[in-house]
Amino acid sequence: MKRSKTSKGWMQEHMNDPWVQKARAEGLRSRAAYKLMEIDDKDHLLKPGMVVVDLGAAPGSWCQVAARRIQPGGLLLALDLLPVEPLPGVSFLQGDFRDDEVLAEFERLLDGRQVDLVLSDMAPNMSGVSVSDDGRMMHLAELALDFADKHLRPGGNMLIKLFQGAGFMDYRKAMQAMFASVASRKPEASRDRSAEVYLLGQRKSG
């Protein structure tokens, strides 16, 4: 099947993207690694010895960053519907976060530990229909917030990707009810035209 002009244009833009080229040169799995690096350099989220959960981990670029920064003594548990090639210091479970059985298995990996930091870069497969895409994105985000409510220790932090669309402000209010402070982050490695933004909740209430 021939590629459409749109897909060809996207691929050309992607290959010429300086962040993509930099990631390839530095052995990182995607440009998304630089988003987490920038936010962590600013907000100092990742520290040695932490228990960190990475939701929506594929292809593993956030894991590459986080696993290094929480050593020595850290534990990183990652989950995604897609496979992730093994990484040192990362325990990965492949499965659908929306599936109760998968979530229960992931919770068993925690083995009763409280989490210091929840990372979520999850996003649905995009249809191009904003109402549908926003709804599916918010569903994933709500599940991630519920996970944080159950497993994030008091004082812990959460960093999550969202789209600035329907439900965004309501979700931010829900985070504000759970965390002492909530801030928006738009790292340089995010494409300008992208509606994505990261919400950072700090110091979960007891």
User: Is residue 72 reached through a cis peptide bond, with omega within 30 degrees of 0 on the bond before it?
Assistant: yes
Distances (CA, A) of 171 to 61, 70, 116, 191: 26, 28, 21, 23
User: Is residue 59 reached through a cis peptide bond, with omega within 30 degrees of 0 on the bond before it?
Assistant: yes
60 known ligand binder: yes
170 known ligand binder: no
Which of these is catalytic: 161, 173, 186, 204?
Answer: 161
Instruction: Find tokens 């530095």 and name the residue.
Output: 26
19 known ligand binder: no
List CB contacts of 188: < 8 A, sequence separation 6 or more.
34, 38
45 in Cβ contact with 59 (< 8 Å):
no
62 known ligand binder: yes
Catalytic (active site) residue 161: yes
List CB contacts of 184: < 8 A, sequence separation 6 or more.
197, 198, 199, 200
- Residue 170, both tokens: 């309501």
Please name the helix (run of DSSP H) or strand (run of DSSP E) that holds residue 42, with its range, or none: helix 32-43
10 known ligand binder: no
Please name the helix (run of DSSP H) or strand (run of DSSP E) that holds residue 21, with its range, or none: helix 18-25
Binding-site residues for S-adenosyl-L-methionine sit at 60, 62, 80, 96, 121
Binding-site residues sit at 60, 62, 80, 96, 121
User: Which active-site residues does the annotation give?
Assistant: 161
